[in-house]
């Protein structure tokens, strides 16, 4: 997003996040969003077509930001260390955008959800990034044979989201490092270090 149009879209995204954090997405109206953003109602329709179009774009935008952060941590290093960096990035993202993480958690598993199709695609994108590192662990013989990377990746993604949201809502006094370590205890139990024989 660049220029004035980009700034307006960013303002609308942030307004939707603020409102949805306390009220949820379903009850929001275009009037609410426009008023919160300080723009005319027509601006929402001009940029997104409808409230649903705005929410769809919001979901894609937020997940795109998270995916970029996760990809930035990937590389050729130890996959367990990369997963730890990805967990830390996810926690940082959710601390920065708590409203977005609430939307993800509330809408991701709502059945049937209004944005189910978009969320299914976005979920697959994030899980594929995490799965790469779990597959590397598996190929190196560092995952138990009965652990399937696709299922483990989905579990890790869900764990990161729920633990991070729990941190934001119920345990804000904990540090990001403490929360990251809580998640990594589970992962380290799953992924052995090179040379481990049990």
Q: Are 160 and 179 within 8 A, CB to CB?
A: no
> Nearest Cα to 19, choosing from 31, 9, 33?
33
Phi-psi region of 38 (alpha: psi -120 to 50; beta: other; left: phi over 0): left
Three-state secondary structure string covering 54-111: HHHHHHHHHHHHHHHHHHHHCCCCCHHHHHHHHHHHHHHHHHHCHHHHHHHHHHHCCC
Per-residue pLDDT tens digits of the chain, which is 198 residues long? 445 667 888 888 888 888 887 777 777 889 999 999 999 999 989 988 988 888 888 888 888 889 999 999 998 899 999 999 999 999 999 888 887 877 787 777 776 667 778 888 888 999 999 999 999 999 988 888 888 999 999 988 888 888 888 898 899 999 999 999 988 887 876 655 555 544
Q: All domains of the chain, ordered by start, with CATH?
A: 1-49 (1.10.10.60), 55-190 (1.10.357.10)
């Amino acid at each position: 997003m660049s220029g004035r149009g980009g700034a307006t879209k960013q303002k609308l995204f942030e307004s939707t996040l603020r409102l949805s954090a306390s009220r949820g997405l379903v009850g929001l109206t275009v009037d609410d969003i426009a008023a919160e953003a300080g723009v005319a109602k027509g601006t929402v329709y001009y940029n997104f077509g409808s409230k649903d179009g705005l929410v769809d774009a919001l979901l894609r935008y937020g997940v795109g930001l998270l995916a970029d952060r996760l990809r930035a941590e990937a590389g050729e290093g130890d996959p367990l260390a990369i997963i730890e960096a990805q967990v830390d990035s996810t926690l940082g993202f959710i601390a920065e955008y708590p409203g977005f993480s609430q939307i993800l958690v509330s809408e991701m598993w709502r059945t049937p959800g209004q944005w189910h199709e978009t969320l299914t695609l976005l979920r697959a994108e994030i899980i594929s990034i995490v799965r790469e590192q779990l597959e590397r662990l598996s190929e190196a013989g560092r995952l138990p044979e009965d652990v399937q990377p696709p299922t483990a990746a989905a579990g890790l993604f869900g764990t990161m989201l729920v633990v991070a949201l729990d941190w934001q809502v119920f345990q804000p006094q904990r540090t990001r490092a403490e929360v990251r370590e809580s998640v990594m205890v589970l992962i380290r139990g799953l992924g052995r270090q090179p040379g481990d024989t049990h």
